[in-house]
Structure 1
Amino acid sequence: MPAPHETVLATLVDAALPHVAFDGWGEATFRAAIADSGVDPAVARGVAPRGALDLAVAYHKAGDRVMQEAYRREDTAALKIREKITRAVELRLEAISDREAVRRGTTLFALPHNAATGAQLLWGTADAIWTVIGDTSTDGNWYTKRAILSGVYGATVLYWLGDQSEGQVETRAFLDRRIADVMTFEKTKAQLNQSAIGKQLMALPNFLLSQMRAPAAMPPADLPGQFRAPD
């Protein structure tokens, strides 16, 4: 069950979407969402202190959740890793309910003061995809996988926004090419690590990657400021 603030955010996002095509993810849209949803303005500002920017973030994260739910309903056990990634990216695009909202969001997150937030969202989508397909890496590969997929997904979304082909078949072909490039890179890296010279060249990078660890799924329970439900 979603938390109360998440429910309010979802209500505001739904109310905002009809206005995004005309006013973007801006203050006018945020005010219209408050008026249309009936949410108390003080409550709206409490759950979305950055206004429409927080609504755009919530809209993006909701798409990640829809993608994961859709992927879990499919039988993907026999698929190869690249096929799983491809399918998850396709489902993430299918989870987009409003293309213009994404187009406006792309513009919003391209602004210098929002670029960090946009990068975090791309990383979050990549993490959601790797997590749902069953990635178990805990070392430096955890970071490289998500960094590479962030770039693949970001480029695919930009291509998809301009794709006018029936059924977005050109986007699928573009995605296949990008993932093929990633697979080629991984193959080259493996060959490099197997060669005598390559082992020497990669010794330091491989050592540094081996020392990295994926972040804990949940923070330690003994840190201050956390709530634990009574037994």
Structure 2
Amino acid sequence: MTIEDHTDPRAEPEAGDIIGQLLDAALLHVPFDGWSAQTFAAAVEEAGITPALAEALCPRGAVDLAIAFHKRGDQLMLDRLAEEEMTGLRFRDKIARAVRLRLEVVDDKEAVRRGTTLFSLPQYAGDGVRLIWGTVDAIWTALGDASEDINWYTKRGSLAGVYSATVLYWLGDDSLEHQASWEFLDRRIDNVMQFEKLKAQVQSNPLLKPLLVGPNWLAQQIKAPGTRDDLPGSWSAPRR
């Protein structure tokens, strides 16, 4: 008898599997009812999950399913990235490819549109910011970023702006295969690269170096967070 023979087919599904079932059921209703209580109730019924269990796993109902939908997209992007051959590409092209993949894995643009509306509400804006930060952190980490200083934040902050703007453009894009969105994405990344070039020129200017001593010292005190699952970072106390 093998180990597999001891597996109980009646074993209880894990929480992630149940949330996945609820999410799959909810996506049929999101285009019509949004990420709403009505959508959550319909998903619970159609997935055959008891309301008590569904509420325990998703205490905020459809909001938690919208978060799960976004995180599912992040994971699909990472899976696609792992299969990509990007040897020889410029780093800015790798970033552009990752953002493009993140949008290409979306099967239902309307679900993203409804999620954008949801996370623009004041009570859920914090969740929206954390989700975007999680996406750009996943991209930088997958591409091998090893920053441990303020660059950890500036890279993700810059990409968060590029990603957010591209998503909004993509939502309204009806061009063939979203070609206009990819051109928009390239322009936004070029803007960031131009800013980085200007910043490097300022830092190397001997006339400006005395003025940058204080800001540079301050920047050196900022360190990347020890755990990377949220927005806050860490501050290294000055050595005595």
- Given the superposition, is the C-alpha separation of residues 218 and 147 from structure 1 closer, same or farther in structure 2, using an over 3 Å criterion? closer
| Runs of 4+ with >6 A deviation | none
Match of 2:196 among 186, 200, 209: 186
Aligned match of 1:24 in 16, 34, 46? 34
Equivalent residues in 2 for 1:110-149 (5 A)? 110-149=120-159
Q: Larger radius of gyration, structure 1 or 2? A: 2
TM (norm. structure 1) is: 0.91
Structure 1 residue corresponding to 2:90, chosen from 58, 61, 80: 80
What is the DSSP-based 3-state SS (H/G/I as helix, E as strand, rest coil) of the residue aligned with 1:79?
Answer: coil
Measured in 2, the distance between the counterparts of 1:168 and 1:152 equals 16
TM-score by length of 2: 0.87
C-alpha displacement of 1:138: 0.8
Instruction: Return the alpha-carbon distance in structure 2 between the equivalents of residues 198 and 28 of structure 1.
Output: 59
Q: Which amino acid aligns with 1:137?
A: S
1:35 and 2:55 equivalent?
no
Aligned residue among 169, 176, 197 for 1:159: 169
How far apart, in 2, do the equivalents of 1:201 and 1:38 lie? 65
What CA distance in whole angstroms lies between the structure 1 residues aligned with 2:18 and 2:32? Answer: 23
Shift in Å, 1:179:
0.1
Mapped partners of 2:97, 2:171: distance in 1: 18
Give the one of 62, 77, 82 matched to 1:67. 77
Match of 2:160 in 1: 150
Instruction: Provide the aligned length of Structure 1 versus Structure 2.
Output: 217
Q: 2:220 aligns with which of 207, 210, 213?
A: 210
Shift of 1:217: 4.1
Query: Which of 13, 18, 21 in structure 1 is aligned with 2:23?
Result: 13
Higher helix share: 1
Contact 1:71 1:88 in 2 (8 A): yes
For structure 2, the 5+ residue unaligned runs are: 1-12, 230-240
Contact 1:141 1:209 in 2 (8 A): no
Supply the RMSD in Å over aligned alpha carbons: 1.4
Using the alignment, how far apart are the partners of 1:24 and 1:201 within structure 2?
A: 52
* Per-residue deviation, residues 71-121 of structure 1 (Å, max 9, x unmatched): 111111211110110000010001112100000000000001111111111
What amino acid is the match of 1:184? Q
Change (3 A) 1:148 1:32: same
Shift of 1:214: 1.2
